[in-house]
Amino acid sequence: MDSATLSARLLAWYARRRRDLPWRRDVNPYRVWISEVMLQQTRVEAVRPFYERWLARFPDVAALAVAEEEEVLRYWAGLGYYRRARMLHAAARRVVAAGGELPRSRAGWRELPGVGEYTSAAIASIAFGEAVPVVDGNVKRLAARFLALELAADDRALHRKAEEWAGQLVVAAPAPGDLNQALMELGATVCTPRAADCEHCPLVGACASTGGDPLARPLPTRRPRWREVRLEHRLARRDGRVLLVQCRESGWTPGLWEPPRLAVGEDRSGLIPLGTVRHVISRHRIEATAFLDPGWDGSGGVDPERVPLSGLGRKLLGLLDRA
């Protein structure tokens, strides 16, 4: 089956089956940019409320550019991978300093901080109709199954093959942005990592895995090594203010806020155990035990509503609320 026929099938399927997502209702370059960055390594359903809240506060690139970094991080808090927010902010400031017009091509987007191969292609394709392929994990999975490639998901060769395959489909499509979204949507809803609903797939019959075992591809990747971490934190509240410190620039969540850690050997007399929370970040599995300090005098207290909290910090303050 030729690329034009496959593209037509995908576009027809996408028109019928695409999910109603907020960033698909009003397609403009700024909104596409924000959604694509938020969706990196984050589930769609988790992004929805953050996206809508972000746009209410930063409706365009100018509003984002003039904001303070701490406020930007506060509106990002909960999405993780905070470098994404910092790069968004830096890129917005660069755009405004250059006159305020967002780039119109993949090459132009690549010149902005934090905008890589995937994001630049997605924005140029969806917002401006540039015929460039967008390759994410969904597209690589589709390529591996459609072409029967004996390659692992993290193999760079699979990325190249997927880019070539998607590129042929995009060039043959009258709407490159919709074609790219159709491929990603198909991988997210029909040909998923743990299931393949071939009966409802627009590529059935043309796919090399039809009638076989599509779940056998891509080949398994090596499991990442996790590091187990145990921490102890001091919690205190007085007159609506909480004891918080800003995380180090060299840490997991630089610039965010959370209750201070207790050092090994630090005096814990007078502190009351509150409980334990678990948190996962950057290949670290954290078990954090909280201790209440009832004698805290309130010095250096922070209003937790006015600073960006780390994910671990929010969980720890949850223990304080319940106490």
Do the beta carbons of residue 183 and residue 168 sit within 8 Å?
A: no
CA 271/CA 141 separation, integer angstroms: 51
- Is the residue at 222 inside a domain? no
The CATH number of residue 307's host domain is: 3.90.79.10
CATH of the domain at 93: 1.10.340.30
Global confidence as pTM:
0.83
Same domain, yes or no: 64 and 197:
yes
Q: Are residues 211 and 232 in the same domain?
A: no
**240, part of any domain:** yes
Do 204 and 273 reside in the same domain of the chain?
no
Residue among 266, 262, 285, 284 at smallest CA distance from 274: 262
**Does residue 221 lie within any of the structural domains?**
no
Final residue before a domain boundary, out of 216, 248, 278: 216
Rounded-to-integer distance, Cα 102 and Cα 91, Å: 10
Across the chain, where does the E strand assignment appear? 227-235, 237-238, 241-242, 245-246, 257-258, 272-281, 284-292
Is 25 within a domain? yes
Query: Annotated catalytic, 36?
Result: yes
pLDDT in tens, 168-181: 999 999 999 999 99
Tokens of 51: 């996206």
| DSSP β-ladder status, 241-242 and 237-238 | antiparallel
Q: Which amino acid is at 167?
A: G
Q: How distant is the alpha carbon of residue 71 from its chain centre?
A: 19
Radius of gyration of the chain (CA): 23
Q: Which of 193, 216, 239 is the last residue of a domain?
A: 216
How many Å from the N-terminal Cα to the C-terminal Cα in the chain? 64
Rounded alpha-carbon distances, angstroms, from residue 144 to 154, 166, 219, 308: 12, 12, 9, 40
Domain boundary among 216, 245, 280: 216
Give yes or no: residues 22 and 83 share one domain. Answer: yes
Give residue 272's domain range.
227-322
Q: Say if 26 falls within a structural domain.
A: yes
* Same domain, yes or no: 234 and 212: no
What is the structure's pLDDT at 124?
A: 98
**Count of domains observed in the chain:** 2
Q: Give the pLDDT of the chain (323 residues) as one tens digit per residue.
A: 899 999 999 999 999 999 999 999 989 999 999 999 999 988 999 999 999 999 999 999 999 999 999 999 999 988 988 899 999 999 999 999 999 999 999 999 999 999 999 999 999 999 999 999 999 999 999 999 999 999 999 999 999 999 999 999 999 999 999 999 999 999 999 999 999 999 999 999 999 999 899 999 999 988 778 999 999 999 999 999 999 999 987 788 888 999 999 998 899 999 999 999 999 988 899 999 999 999 999 998 999 999 999 999 999 999 998 87
